[in-house]
Amino acid sequence: MGIADVGRALFREHLGATAEEMERLKDPLAHYVELVMRRAQRNTRIYRQVFHCTPDDCVNTWEEYDAFTKQKGHDRAQALELLADVRGHLVEFPTQFLNRANLIEYNSLSNTETFVPNEVFT
């Protein structure tokens, strides 16, 4: 097994790719945006619906954070149905979490929990 084979095996595992998708990925960079980013976006949407994980890019202000954390999850059957569409392990890395929140005004030294919400660490 050569280096290229190891790379393809990793792509297959992390993408949850089919044989047809792997055929297109003989040159991984040629189809990066088409397959890899689309797969990460799809998995992220599913995880957002099922788990309401934070940090999340759809949460840009403290008001949105409060609303997001109060959302009800799905029952077990609905969650399993949604999770059946997850392929591989890829998700988008959240880079816009609380990007419109004024963290200096919102926080105070007596309220250290609001610097980073506890849910980030659980």
**Distance separating alpha carbons of residues 38 and 20, to the nearest angstrom:** 16
Around Cβ 16, how many Cβ atoms within 10 Å? Answer: 15
Answer yes or no: pTM beyond 0.75.
no
According to the model, what pLDDT value does residue 105 have? 63
**Distance separating alpha carbons of residues 44 and 57, to the nearest angstrom:** 10
pLDDT digit string, tens, across residues 68-114? 888 887 889 999 999 999 988 889 999 999 899 877 665 555 555 55
Mean pLDDT of 11-15: 78
Of the ranges 26-35, 58-67, 103-112, which one carries the lowest mean pLDDT score? Answer: 103-112
Handedness of CA 21, 25, 26, 30 (dihedral sign): positive
Query: What's the mean per-residue pLDDT of the chain?
Result: 81
According to the model, what pLDDT value does residue 44 have? 94
- Is residue 90 within 8 A of residue 27, CB to CB? The reply is no
**Distance separating alpha carbons of residues 3 and 98, to the nearest angstrom:** 40
According to the model, what pLDDT value does residue 116 have? 65
Mean pLDDT of 28-47: 82
